[in-house]
Amino acid sequence: MYAFEFERPGSLDAAVKALQEEDAQALGGGQTLIPTLKQRLAMPSKLVSLKGIAELQGIAQEGDVLKVGGGSTHGAVARETKGIFAGLSLMASKIGDPAVRNRGTMGGSLANNDPAACYPAALMATRGTVVTNTREIAAEEYFQGLFTTALEEGEIITSIRFPLPEKSNYQKFEQPASRFPLVGVFVAKYGDRVGVGVTGASEDGVFAWKEAEEALAGNFAPEAVDDLWVSAEGMMSDLHGTAEYRAHLVKVMTKRAVAAAE
């Protein structure tokens, strides 16, 4: 690790200010950033911890929307959304291990936008909104490829807003080593539409499988996607799975998520 300064502001305003310093960086749960620092792959001048900011905490239902504070840990999400948003609760409960879940935050995960992160699939399927200290960003504008988002320098995710579905589920097919998704599919069913968010698979990061969304909107049953297929073109290919395998898994996981949706 290179040396850095550390600040733990008590309010959003103070955090925004602290982040104006050149090379200052926000620290959420540190579950991605700290390992990066240990490997000397990042060299921030200052870490601004978001853990002490009340505005980033809290998970609450507001009408037909679930609002999750950007600083909410995966553990809190898993526990507190259980009866409200089954798919999200299930997703959060399967991220990493208890230590990761008790530190890592939804804001940190979405800001990092790892192509194999789980939450992007939920945000994409629900067409949710990322709320920051300055604006609101719709899911489709927010994700801009691997590890890239619409966030500006120093912008802080304060909350995430998910339109609550009638039914939802997440199917995570684990990469054998990291246990991140090799392919993860989130399905959210609403009265008039269905969202299908796919993570882990594409070279461009999370995406909505639009053909499946259409087919499922007409018939929310696993068979509805039987005649669809995902092209292997543009899928990631690595030690743990070829592009063809990933493309195949997208369909299998989608069907399973539909079957399991509650």
Partner 1 sequence: MPKDHGIGASTKRREDVRFLTGDGHYTDDINLHGQAYVHFLRSDVAHGRLVSVETEEAAKMPGVLRIFTGKDFEAVGSIPCGWLITSRDGQPMQEPPHPVLAQGKVRHVGDPIAAVVAETYEQARDAAEAIMVEIEDLPAVIDMKQALAEGATKVHDDLKDNLCYDWGFVEENREAVDKAIKEAHHVTTLELRNQRLVANPMEPRVAVGDYARHNDESTLYTTSQNPHVIRLLMGAFVLGIPEHKLRVAAPDVGGGFGSKIFHYAEEAFCTFAAKQLRRPVKWTSSRAEAFISDAQGRDHVTKIELALDKDNNFTALRTETYANMGAYLSTFSTSVPTWLHGTLMAGNYKTPLIYVNVKAVFTNTVPVDAYRGAGRPEATYQLERVIDKAARELGVDPLALRRQNFVTEFPYATPVAVEYDTGDYNATLDKLEEIADLKGFEARRKESEAKGKLRGLGVNCYIEACGIAPSNLVGQLGARAGLYESATVRVNATGGLVVMTGSHSHGQGHETTFPQVIADMIGIDANMVEIEHGDTANTPMGMGTYGSRSIAVGGSAMVRAAEKVIAKAKKIAAHMMEASEGDIELKDGQFTVAGTDKSLAWGDVTLAAYVPHNYPLEELEPGLEETAFYDPSNFTYPAGAYACEVEVDPETGKVTVERFAAADDFGNVINPMIVEGQVHGGIAQGVGQALLESCVYDETGQLLTGTYMDYAMPRAGDLPSYVVDHSCRTPCTHNPLGVKGCGEAGAIASPPTVVNAVIDALQSGGHKVDHIDMPVSPARVWQAMQ
Ligand X SMILES: Cc1cc2nc3c(=O)[nH]c(=O)nc-3n(C[C@H](O)[C@H](O)[C@H](O)COP(=O)(O)OP(=O)(O)OC[C@H]3O[C@@H](n4cnc5c(N)ncnc54)[C@H](O)[C@@H]3O)c2cc1C
The binding site for partner 1 (CB under 8 A) comprises 1, 3, 39-40, 173, 176-178, 180, 182, 239-242, 245, 248-249, 252
160-179: which residues touch ligand X (CB under 6 A)?
A: 179
Taking the complex as a whole, how short is the minimal distance between the CB of residue 249 and partner 1, in angstroms?
6
Nearest to 121 by CA among 212, 216, 195, 185: 185
Q: Would you say 24 or 225 has its CB closer to ligand X?
A: 24
35-54: which residues touch ligand X (CB under 6 A)?
A: 50
Asked if 128 is part of the footprint of ligand X (rule: CB under 6 A), the reply reads no
Among 5-13, 24-32, 221-229, 254-262, the segment contacting ligand X (CB under 6 A) = 24-32
Please state the separation of Cα 7 from the chain's center in Å: 26
Q: For tokens 């890592």, name the residue.
A: 104
Site string for ligand X, 216-255 (x = CB under 6 A): ----------------------------------------
Q: Which long-range contacts (CB under 8 A, 24 or more apart) does 52-55 make?
A: 52/8, 52/9, 52/10, 53/9, 53/10, 53/11, 53/12, 53/15, 54/10, 54/11, 55/11, 55/12, 55/158
Q: For tokens 């269905």, name the residue.
A: 194
Please tell me the distance from the alpha carbon of residue 129 to that of residue 141, in angstroms, as a whole number: 9
Q: Would you say 98 or 176 has its CB closer to partner 1?
A: 176
Q: Would you say 39 or 233 has its CB closer to ligand X?
A: 39
Pick what 104 binds: ligand X, partner 1, none; C-beta below 5 to 8 Å, kind-dependent.
ligand X
Is residue 107 classed as helix, strand or coil in its secondary structure? helix
Please tell me the distance from the alpha carbon of residue 111 to that of residue 118, in angstroms, as a whole number: 12
Count, residues in the chain? 262
Q: Would you say 67 or 246 has its CB closer to partner 1?
A: 246
46-49 and 24-27 as β-strands: parallel, antiparallel, unpaired?
parallel
Residues lying near ligand X in the complex (CB under 6 A) are found at: 25-33, 50, 70, 95-96, 100, 103-105, 107-109, 111-112, 114, 117-119, 156-157, 179-180
